[in-house]
Amino acid sequence: MQRYVTYEHPLNERVRTLLRLEFLFRQIKHFMSGSTVWDARAVLTNVMDILTIFSRGDLKTELIKELERNAVNLGRLTEKNGVDHTQLKNILHWLNKLCNVLRDMDGALGQELRDNEFLNAIRQRSSIPGGTCDFDLPLYHQWLHLPQEQRQADMERWLGALDAVRQSVELILKLIRNSAEPVTVLAGGGVYQHVLDPAIPFQLVRIALVMESPYYAEVSGGKHRFAIRFMQPSPAERPKQATEDVSFRLTCCAL
């Protein structure tokens, strides 16, 4: 079976934010399985980044709107034939459940963690290169040398405050990615341009290249059109655009 490397490009700011949050939550999941001081540091670094994203807008309202929009769109399928109604019912249940959980939260997302003096001290120093080293934050240094079980319990408690956001992000992006089937297309001379139907709310472009390909995909554009250039990296020089035709799998996702 052929294996692919998939490149994604968001077509609006909401999906851009969701992809960044997904990236941070995935890193947290990876480092939570570790037991070293450096794993714990990596978890909290990603938590700080998530809190920074939360502070840049009313993400709670954005998530609720997206969950509600998806619920309305998918709800139209309940009367159609050829639909897996059991799976559809389960998805609608989770969309509505997460929507209610977010609505019931007091204050802005992550407020509980921002009010935590220990985490807030780390967050204030995190913007400084090397600002969380031992002599800058002796309290952090002491916490990092607590028994691993105690650190793990603290981190799980803090992450619990972010769980509804994580689940919402994962569900929304899963629905978006599964909203369309890939088609095989050809980039003539390493360049592909595509005009999107303005009547369809496209949210995400996915480009899949076979793992053995010497190229990577560089995407530019927005909700009306996008362009893909296939580039070949070089250890010592600037990447060069492919001159040959490049076959790849394209998915334009809209829900």
Which token pair is 176? Answer: 């978006």
Rounded to whole angstroms, the Cα distance separating 244 from 247 reads: 10
Residues whose CB falls within 8 Å of the CB of residue 50, separated by 6 or more in sequence, listed in order: 21, 24, 25, 110, 162, 165
Q: What is the pLDDT of residue 174?
A: 96
Place of tokens 């939550």: 25
Domains of the chain with CATH codes: 13-175 (1.10.3900.10), 181-254 (2.60.440.10)
DSSP 154-195: HHHHHHHTTHHHHHHHHHHHHHHHTTS--EEEEEGGGEEEEE
Sequence-separated (6 or more) residues with CB below 8 Å from residue 135: none
pLDDT in tens, 129-166: 998 999 999 999 999 999 999 999 999 999 999 999 99
The CA distances from residue 63 to 173, 177, 180, in Å, are 11, 17, 22
- What confidence score (pLDDT) does residue 254 get? 92
Torsion angle of the four alpha carbons 129, 134, 135, 141, in this order, in degrees rounded to the nearest 10: 130
pLDDT (0 to 100) of residue 56: 85
- Residue 211's SS3 state is coil
Q: Which residues contact 157 (CB under 8 A, 6 or more apart)?
A: none
10 Å Cβ neighbour count for 33? 7
Cβ atoms 205, 9 nearer than 8 A: yes
Instruction: Annotate 96-117 with DSSP letters as a single string.
Output: HHHHHHHHHS-SSTTHHHHT-H
CB 27 within 8 A of CB 20: no
Residue 209 φ then ψ, to 5°: -115, 145
Instruction: Give the contacts of 66 (CB within 8 A, at least 6 positions apart).
Output: 14, 168, 172
Question: Along the chain (255 residues), what's the average pLDDT of each consecutive run of 10 residues?
Answer: 94 95 98 96 96 90 94 83 82 94 90 94 90 92 96 97 96 95 96 94 96 95 92 90 96 93
Walk across the sheet containing 4-10 and list its strands: 4-10, 202-210, 246-254, 183-187
**What are the residues facing 241 on neighbouring strands?**
231
Per-residue pLDDT at 12: 93
